[in-house]
Amino acid sequence: MNSHQLFRRSRTRLALWYALVMGAILSLSGLGMYRSLVQSNWAAMEREMESIAGTLHDSLEPMLPASEDPTAVLRRILPELCLAGQPCNTSPTLIQRHTTGISDRSIYYIRLFDHSGKLLAFSPNQPPSLPKTLNRSPWQTFHAANGVRYHQFTTILHSAYANHQANEPSSQLSWGYLQIGRTLATFDAETKRIQWILVIGFPIALLLVGFSSWWLSGLAMQPIYQSYQQQQQFIANAAHELRSPLASLLATVEAILRLPPTNQHNIPVMLQTVERQGRRLSHLIADLLFLTSLEQNSSPKPFQPCCLNDLISDLTEEFLELATIADIHLTHQIPNHDVYVLGNESQLYRLVSNLIANAIQYTTLGGSVMVSLEQRDRTAVIAVKDTGIGIPTEQQGRVFDRFYRVDGDRSRKTGGTGLGLAIAQAIAQKHQAILKVESQVGQGSIFTLEIAIVNN
**Would you report the helix, strand and coil content of the chain in percent, each value rounded to 5?**
55, 20, 25
CA 313, 314, 316, 317 dihedral sign is: positive
pLDDT at residue number 373? 92
Distance between CA 291 and CA 135 in Å, rounded? Answer: 87
pLDDT at residue number 90? 57
| DSSP codes joined into one string, 79-115 | TTSEETTS---SS--HHHHTSS--S-TTTEEEEEEET
Distance between CA 334 and CA 12 in Å, rounded? Answer: 58
* DSSP 8-state assignment for residue 133: B
Half-sphere exposure of 86 (CA within 13 A, CB side): 15
pLDDT at residue number 234? 67
CB 412 within 8 A of CB 394: no
pLDDT at residue number 109? 87
Distance between CA 117 and CA 176 in Å, rounded? Answer: 7
CB 401 within 8 A of CB 423: no
Alpha-helical runs (H) found in 297-436 = 308-325, 345-361, 408-413, 420-430
Arithmetic mean of pLDDT, 308-326: 91
CB 110 within 8 A of CB 63: no
Give the pLDDT band (50/70/90) at residue 97. Answer: very low
Phi first, then psi: give them for residue 217, nearest 5 degrees: -65, -35
Give the pLDDT band (50/70/90) at residue 166. Answer: very low
Please list, in sequence order, all residues whose beta carbon lies within 8 angstroms of the beta carbon of residue 367, skipping any fewer than 6 positions away: 328, 329, 386, 387, 388, 444
* High-pLDDT (> 90) share of the chain, %: 23
Phi first, then psi: give them for residue 86, nearest 5 degrees: -130, 160
Please list, in sequence order, all residues whose beta carbon lies within 8 angstroms of the beta carbon of residue 425, skipping any fewer than 6 positions away: 400, 435
Distance between CA 353 and CA 172 in Å, rounded? Answer: 109
Per residue in 421-455, pLDDT (tens digit) is 888 888 898 888 999 998 888 888 999 999 998 87
pLDDT at residue number 98? 45
Least confident range from 51-55, 213-217, 452-456: namely: 452-456
CB 151 within 8 A of CB 143: no
Higher-confidence position of 169 and 247:
247
Distance between CA 163 and CA 166 in Å, rounded? Answer: 7
Q: Name which of 113, 107, 86, 110 is nearest 99 in CA terms.
A: 110
Note the pTM of the prediction, 2 decimals: 0.52
pLDDT at residue number 100? 46
* Neighbour order of strands in the sheet with 119-122: 82-83, 119-122, 108-114, 176-183, 149-157, 139-143
**165 pLDDT exceeds 60?**
no
User: E-strand spans in 93-225?
Assistant: 108-114, 119-122, 139-143, 149-157, 176-183
Phi first, then psi: give them for residue 130, nearest 5 degrees: -75, 140
Give the pLDDT band (50/70/90) at residue 407. Answer: low
Q: Name which of 339, 337, 333 is nearest 371 in CA terms.
A: 333
Domains observed in the chain: 3-192 (no CATH), 302-452 (3.30.565.10)
CB 179 within 8 A of CB 152: yes
Cβ neighbours of 309 (radius 10 Å) = 17
CB 191 within 8 A of CB 214: no
pLDDT at residue number 311? 92
Distance between CA 456 and CA 451 in Å, rounded? Answer: 15
Q: Is 215 exposed, middle or buried (0-12, 13-18, 19+ CB in 10 A)?
A: exposed
